[in-house]
A and B are shown apart, each in its own frame.
Chain A
């Protein structure tokens, strides 16, 4: 369920993404899962392109997203893409 304490719209939910195989994939599992479960269309989501950017130590946001894909979407970009 999407928390909305200040009346924010779904389009205001930050959902950073990376490009994998030429497609946008949301980088935040919790936000994207909540939006999907709430039935919010993916087009209004917005975010920052984090492709190739270091997230933590030697890990990039791409690595974190690939891990999310493996856990939640069977590694499928199409199931998780923006």
Chain B
């Protein structure tokens, strides 16, 4: 049996469910340049006729990132993600096997492991980075 990368203790950073309308996001775009990864999530504004609006999430000094189908097979295992109250949130994991493997390596010290599920477009995004701006 293949060992999955373990994650635990997710902490909520941004609740997208508070932003998104009932139909969820319309689409997303990912831009990676230098060591910055920017995720733009587009959705309809329910309270005005402004049409589609955008929420940007910027990950800084990125070491790794992975986009997976959601639902689908996951390379990660996190029992704590069974808490459905945070399934629509950007979270930072308190523990990550990837971060643990990097311990003691000067170039990657201080990294954090982030995760976001985009339910309507069916995408899971994992990012290991120094920080995130929401």
B:16-51 near A, CB below 8 Å: 17, 22-24
Q: Do the beta carbons of B23 and A29 come within 8 Å of each other?
A: yes
CB within 8 Å of A: which B37-80 residues: 70-72, 74, 76-79
B74/A66 in contact, CB under 8 A: no
Do the beta carbons of A56 and B88 come within 8 Å of each other?
Answer: no
A61 to chain B, nearest CB (A): 7
Q: Which residue of A lies closest to B4 (CB)?
A: A57
Q: Which residues of B lie under 8 Å from residue A66 when comparing CB positions? A: 84
What is the CB-to-nearest-CB distance from B118 to chain A, in angstroms, rounded to a whole number?
A: 11
Alpha-carbon distance A70/B15, docked complex (angstroms): 13
Question: In the complex, A15→B88 CA distance in Å?
Answer: 20
Measured CB to CB, the closest approach of chain A to B10, in angstroms, equals 12
Interface size class of B (residues with CB under 8 A): 20 to 34
**Is B82 a contact partner of A59 (Cβ separation < 8 A)?**
yes
Which residues of chain A come closer than 8 Å to B102, judged between CB atoms?
Answer: none
Expressed in whole angstroms, the Cα–Cα distance for A56 and B117 within the complex equals 11
Q: Is the pair B81, A59 in contact by a Cβ cutoff of 8 Å?
A: yes
Cβ-defined contact, A58 with B71, below 8 A: no
Q: How far, in Å, is B44 (CB) from chain A's closest CB?
A: 11
State in angstroms the CA–CA spacing of A64 and B124 once bound together.
Answer: 13
Q: Mark B69-103, 1 if CB is under 8 A from A, else 0.
A: 01110101111011011011000000000000000
Whether, in the assembled complex, B130 has its beta carbon less than 8 Å from a beta carbon of chain A, the answer is: no
The 7 closest A-B pairs by CB, nearest first: A55-B71, A67-B84, A33-B23, A57-B74, A30-B120, A72-B22, A56-B71
What residues of chain B have their CB less than 8 Å away from a CB belonging to chain A? Answer: 4, 17, 22-24, 70-72, 74, 76-79, 81-82, 84-85, 87-88, 117, 119-120, 124
